[in-house]
Chain A
Amino acid sequence: MAKLKSKKKISRRKFLQGTGAALAVATAAPGVGAQNTATDAIPRTAIRVTVNGTQRRIEVEDRWTLVELLRDHFGLTGTKIGCDRGECGACTVLLDGKPIYSCSNLAVWADGRSVQTVEGLTQNGRLDALQQSFIEHDGPQCGFCTSGQLMSAKGLLIRNPRPTADEIRAGMTGNLCRCSNYNHYVEAVLAAAKGGSR
């Protein structure tokens, strides 16, 4: 892996400003209204869920999946839907610290629990070591699976901070990458684990 010049590194201030703006827009968007059902008979449940450290209260339709809640109603579109049926891992988020497919979990099941998405990986404007390492190793090609790969890797490092390459492959095997940049993803996670989390 070529060493990167320091100027290629991420300006964290620039990044933080960007994220703040994006979230503000998402919150202002008519998200909840946009998906209102046409029929009144759809059962709804009020839930309380912590998303990226912030507690949110919302009345959800019982049929909403967690990814639908995150993307359409909280404006957290970093989490992607690749298959919507538990096959690809693009929608992986952490639920109480464990990676799950958010397309295969109902939003109501998140009641009283804590969800972390890719938007919550940065802490105090600093990129997570995994994010930095993904950039340096050119993990994302098209980038569509990347959020899921990141969250899966994050979950893996929480339970196994020093995984071997084989453990990484096993831990992330539920995250498909059709650009097939698997080598680079594994290298990136290995390097991030060696560097320790920042």
Chain B
Amino acid sequence: MRQQQNTSIAPLKTVGHATPRIDAIERVTGKATYTNDIRLPGMLYARILRSPHPHARIRRIDVSKALALPGVKTILTHENCQVVWGAGGISGGLQYNDDIKKITKHRRYVFNNPVRFVGDPVAAVAAVNRHVADEALGLIQVDYEVLSFILEPEEALKPDAVKIWPEGNLSLNAQNQAQPMSTRRGNIEEGFRTSDLVFEDRYTTAFVHNAQMEPRSCVANWDGDKLTLYTPTQGISNCRSDTARDLGIPPEKVQIICQYMGGGFGNKNQNQDADLITAMLAKEAGAPVKLEFTRKDDFIGVHGRWPTVQYYKVGVSRDGVLKGIQLRGYSGMGGYRKNTGTIGGIDIYQCPHIDSVVYPVYTNKTVSGNFRGPEYPQGFYGIESMMDDVAYKLKMDPVEFILKNMTRKSRDEVPYTNYSLEECIRRGAETFEWKKRWRPQPGSDPGPVKRGAGVAFMAFRSALGRSNAVIRLDAKGHYTVFVGVTDVGAGAKTTMAMIAAEALGVPVSKIEVVWGDTDRCPYSVGESGSRTTIQTGYAVVQAAEALKRQIAEKGLPTGDNVLIGSASPNPTLEGKVRAAFGAHFVEVQVDTELGHVRVLKYLAVHDSGRIMNPLTARSQIKGGATMGIGMALHENLLYDRRNGQPLTAGFYGARLMTHRDAPEIEVIFIESDDGYGPYGAKSIGESSKVPAVAAVANAVFNAIGRRMKDLPITRDKILGALA
């Protein structure tokens, strides 16, 4: 394995050294307790009945036969359960709050009527075991008035399209206005007027599902008016406040427990409809309830990445300097708007005139939401394919084009806290042997099996923000760190222990971490936006400093005494932007007779600031890059246009990467310490997927000489392009 190579930063004692996870034994012995491993005495099992229609009004639901089945305890439908799922949609992608809840016209309930996609929950059953619950689903009689449906965002905006919501299919923002999202800089007409050449093209991306290995589940238990939810959530703190708000109970009456969770990649942040449904079932039944999603439930009932249509118009001078970038984009949000639907990427170019308008559009597909760099992998695929194409048309090497036009200040205006993009690209090109692998004439290899190389780059937010940490020291010299993090898989627990050990000057073995329980841990930002290490890690450093001051003042604790250090920092940046940087270089081999693409070489170069734990950081980069290859080449939740049915709702059909598909991902970290975050840590987890899709697509172009403009780049499309 490639080792850490640089560094210009001063080494530390614990941070920066490859450290196995502090909970590694639990993870390899089956002892780690995931939500579905929880079993409470007298617990019932729940299942969800979902809409078989992409769009329908429920005329009548008859649950009498199901209720009569021995062992069935409770059934919920839209008739007896009208809980609004705040985080499920409606707020224009903004954080849902009481003000928005009051005014919004597009409220998403846990059970909706009409139903707006195949998979929209219609009823939930709690029974003595899962077999009875399953059987009961089949006895619920639903009389649907089937409505016409629409799957594609551009079609959904046509005047004669069926309206999924009364106000039309352009999603409303938090002020109930049907307006696209616009970003403008300079004057785009001026940009095109001053260009020597103007290029236009259209790119599309597919709906890809997060498809985390652990299907959603939840266990709810009421003790009087106190609700305890065992649930796989990326943010116990926001899950608690969401759940309390949605159920109308005080936050202190909700306890969220998430010890281990089997991945989420964005679709387990905040609270989920599963949490609310399970809580309501448990309340109605007067017994603990476990809700288990099937894999199909998870694919169609839980969100994935929003599909997009992207029209670009790009103006350049003859010597390859960008003058203007225009984007008209359409994002398919599904039946509810769970996130913004923006399309990212333009900002990584230096350009005086920018005009971006993106329409978030309702469709009758499964809902779209956060998935590892929510708006970026699809947006970067579009813009970096477009720019790659422009480079070839100008007869420029794409690496040279990038070096000429990449961002140097955020939005050409605000300086970054440190800037290493150029180093990422130059170092990457050299290590990858770009000049040797890249074909100046695309598709020029003789014979049916052709090779080519592609590159893409990225800048990804590494913002600061508030969080909390508490550290307790007892007389035996044991330190306990209390942080409200969950460990989605990135290794947050271990990272927090390492940061605490570094700050306290003690070995990691002296540190215990208490996490994943809102009754024991203070607020922490959720595992979203790749910011847990930055924000909560910084709070841990500050709490350690507070504890050290206590020790200096009072001496070490003796007997039963303890000392406690705590911190609630909310650091800010003034006049600067923090970003992680990176560049991916890919060599592919395309069999032009079979349409098959194989990745031969993959290099990922990242500046994620100082690396806290090279062992786990490397896993994050490899994982994101590998996911990106899957998104580029084969992942897709396909729908039948005739009946609106999802066709590939499962691991096999959606074509995830397997052991055999995954190439060796070479990782280089260019470390830096910009003086912010814990010891200079910046974001990692999401950023590794961001440029991967574009890099693979650009490599395919270099190999075959045909620009692949619709994801995924499957065999049929390659053969079609070459025919």
Whether A179 contacts B30 by the Cβ 8 Å rule is no
User: What is the 8 Å Cβ interface bit string for chain B, positions 294-307, against chain A (1 contact, 0 not)?
Assistant: 11000000000000
Shortest CB-to-CB span from A59 to chain B, Å, is 15
Given contacts A144-B263, A179-B619, contact A38 B490 (CB under 8 A): no
Shortest CB-to-CB span from B299 to chain A, Å, is 10
Interface of B is mostly: loop
Is A183 part of the contact surface with B, judged by Cβ < 8 Å?
yes
With A and B bound together, what is the CA distance between A138 and B490 in angstroms?
11
Residues of A within 8 A of B36 (CB): 77, 80-81
Residues of B within 8 A of A176 (CB): 213, 651, 656, 658
With A and B bound together, what is the CA distance between A105 and B250 in angstroms?
46
Given contacts A87-B651, A138-B619, contact A78 B660 (CB under 8 A): no
Interface of A is mostly: loop
Is A158 part of the contact surface with B, judged by Cβ < 8 Å?
no
Is B173 part of the contact surface with A, judged by Cβ < 8 Å?
no
Residues of B within 8 A of A76 (CB): 30
Is B111 part of the contact surface with A, judged by Cβ < 8 Å?
no
Q: Which of A94-102, A107-115, A166-174 interfaces with chain B?
A: A166-174
Whether B70 contacts A180 by the Cβ 8 Å rule is no
A121's nearest neighbour on chain B, judged by CB, is B29
Count residues of chain B with CB under 8 A from any CB of chain A: 75
Is B24 part of the contact surface with A, judged by Cβ < 8 Å?
yes
Whether B662 contacts A183 by the Cβ 8 Å rule is yes
User: What is the 8 Å Cβ interface bit string for chain B, positions 21-40, against chain A (1 contact, 0 not)?
Assistant: 10011111111111011010
Is A22 part of the contact surface with B, judged by Cβ < 8 Å?
yes
Whether B656 contacts A10 by the Cβ 8 Å rule is no
Shortest CB-to-CB span from A105 to chain B, Å, is 17
Whether A78 contacts B29 by the Cβ 8 Å rule is yes
CB within 8 Å: A-B pair count: 221
Interface size class of A (residues with CB under 8 A): 35 or more
Shortest CB-to-CB span from B327 to chain A, Å, is 29
With A and B bound together, what is the CA distance between A186 and B261 in angstroms?
23
With A and B bound together, what is the CA distance between A173 and B432 in angstroms?
28
Q: Which of B12-20, B151-159, B189-197, B534-542 interfaces with chain A?
A: B12-20
Residues of A within 8 A of B72 (CB): 38
Q: Which of B127-135, B387-395, B451-459 interfaces with chain A?
A: B127-135
Q: Supply 9 A–B pairs (Cβ within 8 Å), ascending by A.
A: A4-B18, A37-B129, A83-B295, A131-B28, A131-B29, A144-B263, A176-B656, A179-B623, A181-B622
Residues of A in contact with B (beta carbons under 8 Å apart): 1-2, 4, 7-8, 10, 15, 18-19, 22, 29-31, 34-39, 42, 61, 63, 71, 76-85, 87-88, 90, 117-119, 121-122, 127, 131, 134-136, 138-147, 150, 168-170, 172-187
Residues of B in contact with A (beta carbons under 8 Å apart): 1, 3, 17-21, 24-34, 36-37, 39, 41, 43, 69-72, 127-132, 210-215, 260-263, 265, 294-295, 488-491, 507, 509, 614-616, 618-620, 622-624, 626-627, 630, 650-652, 656-660, 662, 664-665
Known: A88-B295, A173-B659. 5 other contacts (CB 8 A): A141-B490, A147-B30, A173-B658, A178-B265, A180-B657
